[in-house]
Amino acid sequence: MKQIKLILMALCCVSFIASAQKPTVYVLATGGTIAGEGKTEVNSAYTSGAITVDELLSAVPEINDIATIKGEQVANIGSQDMNDEVWLKLSKRVNELLKKSDVHAIVITHGTDTQEETAYFLNLTVKSDKPVILVGSMRPSTAISADGPRNIYNAVACAVDKSSKGKGVMVVMDDRILGADDLSKTNTLSVGTFQNPNFGELGIVYNGKPVYSREPMKRHTSKSEFDVSHLDKLPRVEIILSYSNATDLFVNAAVNAGVKGIVTAGVGNGNLTTVMQNALAAAVKNGVAVVRSSRIATGPTAQWDEIDDDKLGFSASWFVNPYRARVLLMLALTKTNNYKEIQRMFTEY
Ligand code: DGL
């Protein structure tokens, strides 16, 4: 009897030491398809954000071999409903956790619809070089060949690997590692939907290990100037699309609603119909910051082309697409509404 007790105690010690040696990774869940439940294994109809973080994690027991996992439910929504309140909560919680010396990294489960916006928001507001990785899935947890469990395993595998430090916020899906600086959802249904269309992906996950092939080129995380730790709301910024015959209707509506900034998704190199451009120039005179971006999927919205940004008081977004440009402009407006200063930020982030 005494011997059995001793063996049990020894086993407990071994497992305690083993778990103490494993890096601690927090998995913060926010909802999305990865936490979705379908009507059947093959039907495309499903409800986002239906299962909890514990249920999600129980589908990938293998992650417990490589990390000590702690799950937290931050929200449980389809990411089409992602909002400033959850962003601020998430950013503050990530910063709080990463300050602890015993927390190695954060994995965030998230719907794919607005994942590029949340990843970029965190890329600009997290104050740490420790890995922060967003992960989602395109198929609900109940589907045949659900992609969520593999994506979660890969995300945790990247999170615990020391080569993942200092790379800014990343997204791991479909065996690929993508940077938040150039993230786009490019396909409505495909499991390989995410791309870094201008700069190329950061790397791949191979046999459960990250293999990086480039560094992020833009300012991020610990080198970012933005601090939301004392904020409970963000300046309101709207995105307005341009197209043939676009009028001043939405620009005027936005100004009348009291927005602080407008991002345009212009045609070509961020061009705008003359009537829309004139309305935006008037908006600038009323103190609204205007950033030109483009509805085109790749290439910069560059200054010094057909539009004289300096004359009109506009800033150009360069490689930041309209959705991420909205995020950067919101953060920029927490510090300034000077168009030159905002232009600097769009060239640096
Ligand atoms: N409603 C979408 C969202 O949460 C589902 C899409 C997805 O997660 O892939 O973003």
DSSP conformation letters of 111-155: -STTHHHHHHHHHHH---SS-EEEE--SS-TTSTT-SHHHHHHHH
Task: Give the confidence band of 50 by pLDDT, cuts at 50, 70, 90.
Answer: confident
Q: Which atom of ligand 1 is nearest to the CA of 137?
A: 9
Percentage of residues in the chain having pLDDT higher than 70: 93
Task: Check residue 214 and give its pLDDT.
Answer: 95
Task: Check residue 84 and give its pLDDT.
Answer: 98
Which of 192, 223, 254 is a domain's end point? Answer: 223
> Does some domain include residue 92?
yes
Q: Does residue 204 sit in the same domain as residue 242? A: no
Q: How far apart are CA 334 and CA 311, in angstroms?
A: 24
What integer is the mean pLDDT of 142-148? 91
**6: Cα separation from own chain's centroid:** 49
Task: Check residue 34 and give its pLDDT.
Answer: 85
Task: Check residue 38 and give its pLDDT.
Answer: 73
Q: Does residue 186 sit in the same domain as residue 59? A: yes
- For 343, counting Cβ atoms within 10 Å of its Cβ (0-12 exposed, 13-18 middle, 19+ buried), the class is buried
> Does some domain include residue 228?
no
What integer is the mean pLDDT of 80-100? 98
Phi, psi (rounded to 5 degrees) for 172: -115, 115
Distance 112 CA to ligand 1 centre (A): 5
What lines the ligand 1 site, CB under 6 Å?
32-33, 48, 78-80, 111-113, 136, 138
Mean pLDDT of the chain: 93
Q: Strand 209-212 relative to strand 184-185: parallel, antiparallel, unpaired?
A: unpaired
| Residue of the CA atom closest to atom 1 of ligand 1 | 78
Give how many domains the chain has, as a whole number: 2
Distance 81 CA to ligand 1 centre (A): 10
Q: Does residue 211 sit in the same domain as residue 254? A: no
Task: Check residue 235 and give its pLDDT.
Answer: 98
Task: Check residue 1 and give its pLDDT.
Answer: 55
Q: Sign of dihedral through CA atoms 226, 232, 235, 241?
A: positive
Task: Check residue 21 and give its pLDDT.
Answer: 87
Which of 200, 223, 246 is a domain's end point? Answer: 223
Q: Does residue 245 sit in the same domain as residue 123? A: no
Please check the confidence at residue 118 and state whether its pLDDT lies above 70. Answer: yes
Q: How far apart are CA 285 and CA 271, in angstroms?
A: 20
Q: Which atom of ligand 1 is nearest to the CA of 113?
A: 10
> Does some domain include residue 118?
yes
DSSP bridge pairs for 29? 73, 109
Please check the confidence at residue 146 and state whether its pLDDT lies above 80. Answer: yes
CATH number where 183 lies: 3.40.50.1170
Task: Give the confidence band of 66 by pLDDT, cuts at 50, 70, 90.
Answer: very high
Cα dist from 214 to 27, 149, 217, whole Å: 26, 26, 9
Q: Does residue 255 sit in the same domain as residue 201? A: no
Q: Does residue 74 sit in the same domain as residue 177? A: yes
Q: Which atom of ligand 1 is nearest to the CA of 34?
A: 8
Q: Does residue 34 sit in the same domain as residue 120? A: yes
Percentage of residues in the chain having pLDDT higher than 90: 85
Q: Which atom of ligand 1 is nearest to the CA of 31?
A: 4
User: What's the chain's length in residues?
Assistant: 349
Task: Check residue 206 and give its pLDDT.
Answer: 98
Q: Does residue 244 sit in the same domain as residue 207? A: no
Residues 159 and 131 sit within 8 Å (Cβ to Cβ): yes
Q: How far apart are CA 149 and CA 62, in angstroms?
A: 10
Question: Quick one: tokens of 58?
Answer: 């129980």
Residues with a known catalytic role: 33
- The C-alpha torsion from 347 through 241 and 269 to 79, rounded to 10°, is 50
State which of 113, 115, 139 you would mutate to test the pocket of ligand 1, scoring each by most atoms of that ligand within 8 A of its C-beta. 113
Q: How far apart are CA 247 and CA 51, in angstroms?
A: 44
> Does some domain include residue 230?
no
* Number of Cα atoms under 13 Å in the Cβ half of residue 245: 0
Distance 31 CA to ligand 1 centre (A): 8
State which of 37, 47, 48 you would mutate to test the pocket of ligand 1, scoring each by most atoms of that ligand within 8 A of its C-beta. 48
Distance 111 CA to ligand 1 centre (A): 4
For the ranges 7-11, 127-131, 239-243, 251-255, which has the lowest average pLDDT? 7-11
Please check the confidence at residue 8 and state whether its pLDDT lies above 60. Answer: no
Structural domain range at position 96: 22-223
CATH number where 291 lies: 3.40.50.40
The pLDDT tens digits of the residues spanning 287-343 come to 999 999 999 999 999 998 999 999 999 999 999 999 999 999 999 999 999 999 999
Distance 32 CA to ligand 1 centre (A): 4
> Does some domain include residue 16?
no
> Does some domain include residue 177?
yes
Task: Give the confidence band of 2 by pLDDT, cuts at 50, 70, 90.
Answer: low
State which of 46, 51, 80, 135 you would mutate to test the pocket of ligand 1, scoring each by most atoms of that ligand within 8 A of its C-beta. 80
Q: Does residue 65 sit in the same domain as residue 165? A: yes
* Number of Cα atoms under 13 Å in the Cβ half of residue 3: 0
> Does some domain include residue 126?
yes
Please check the confidence at residue 14 and state whether its pLDDT lies above 70. Answer: no
Distance 13 CA to ligand 1 centre (A): 43
| Residue of the CA atom closest to atom 8 of ligand 1 | 111
DSSP bridge pairs for 271? 267
Q: Does residue 182 sit in the same domain as residue 46? A: yes
Q: Does residue 36 sit in the same domain as residue 76? A: yes
pTM over the 0.75 mark = yes
Q: Does residue 217 sit in the same domain as residue 327? A: no
Q: Which atom of ligand 1 is nearest to the CA of 32?
A: 4
Which of 223, 251, 274 is a domain's end point? Answer: 223
> Does some domain include residue 255?
yes
